Amino acid sequence: MQSTLRNYQYLVLIIIIWGSSFAMMHECLVGGHFTPEQTVGYRLAIGSLVLLIACFFYRKSFPKTLTPWVHFFIYAVIGNIVPFLLISRGQMHITSGMTGLLMAFVPLVTMVLAHIFLPNNALNRYKILGFVLGISGVLFILFPSIDDGNNTLFGILLILGAAASYASHGVVVEKFPKYDPVVAATCSSVLACLLAFLIWPDMIYLDLEGIPLSTSLNMLALGLLPTGLGALIFFNLVNNAGATFLSNMNYVIPVYAFTLGAIVLGEPVLWQNILALILIVFGIFVSRRKA
């Protein structure tokens, strides 16, 4: 088992990596240079290449039985295909900062699912209070932002669906047998990439002319960091610290993503958003207390 300090170091790193992914996706989608489907497919292709190189470097071997591949296929669907597509489509209708804020829904769903499916993860009064605080923060985001000119209800619902898929993924990974993080990340990413190109074969036809260099670099970074390196850290943390510990990043990611969107992309800041951030961050401290 890794030390607690190492787990928190990885947690900070994945917060930075995944918290930046929404701004990267915004830059890929803006101007219509990449479609939502292309954003999913190409980030998976780049991430899979990174992970395959990691497997080769560490001399990992793939499973030779069917059961692990079934598990990896499930990871690919609920951890890659579904949330990536919902986020890419959702960001056509809401800002990147709002997307990051709505990721606070992940630990709320994770707490409920962990209570149902995972032993030793029962809800207590502190978790319930933290859940209420987090939901309150989401509601403060939701209602004032519906059709405010920058965000729509349709886009918000898509992102909430992606958050629920991510929460399910974390619990399923902890419930299933523990696999080598590099192997699990690589196999699920490759399967997701193949599945994406089977579902949307037309996205292979990409007109490279007219795509700005900055947009191409954002797509490259999206594949290398959140999709490739992020997957390695994710499986490592779930194996060593558990899904509930990992889900706490989603209280901090909203703060990071929202701030990044405001500073880098000049996205609007509402007082309701600030209040939501305070409620969400306070929720983590309450929910982490032991009964």
**Does the structure show a pLDDT above 70 at 147?**
no
pLDDT at 77: 97
Rounded to an integer, the average pLDDT of 66-80 is 96
Higher pLDDT, 107 or 147: 107
Rounded to an integer, the average pLDDT of 188-206 is 92
Q: Write the pLDDT tens digit of every residue in 135-145.
A: 777 777 666 66
Q: How far is CA 6 from CA 10, 31, 145, 228, 238, in A?
A: 6, 40, 38, 20, 13
Per-residue pLDDT band for 291 (boundaries 50, 70, 90) equals low
145 half-sphere exposure, CB direction, 13 A CA radius? 31
pLDDT at 146: 60
Query: Which three-class secondary structure state does DSSP give residue 121?
Result: coil
Rounded to an integer, the average pLDDT of 275-290 is 74
Higher pLDDT, 256 or 68: 68
Q: Per the structure, how many domains does the chain have?
A: 1
Higher pLDDT, 257 or 108: 257
pLDDT at 256: 86
Q: Write the pLDDT tens digit of every residue in 169-189.
A: 989 988 899 999 999 999 999
Rounded to an integer, the average pLDDT of 215-220 is 94
pLDDT at 109: 86
Lowest mean pLDDT among 12-26, 153-167, 277-291: 277-291
Domain that holds residue 162: 4-287
> 40, 91, 76: which is closest to 203 by C-alpha?
40
Higher pLDDT, 168 or 7: 168
pLDDT at 202: 85
Q: Which residues contact 201 (CB under 8 A, 6 or more apart)?
A: none
91 half-sphere exposure, CB direction, 13 A CA radius? 32
**Does the structure show a pLDDT above 90 at 73?**
yes
Is the separation of the CB atoms in 24 and 221 below 8 Å?
Answer: yes
State what percent of residues in the chain have pLDDT above 70: 93
Torsion of CA 9, 12, 16, 17, to 10 degrees: 50
Rounded to an integer, the average pLDDT of 82-103 is 90
Would you call 31 exposed, middle or buried from its count of C-beta atoms within 10 A (0-12, 13-18, 19+)? exposed
Per-residue pLDDT band for 158 (boundaries 50, 70, 90) equals very high
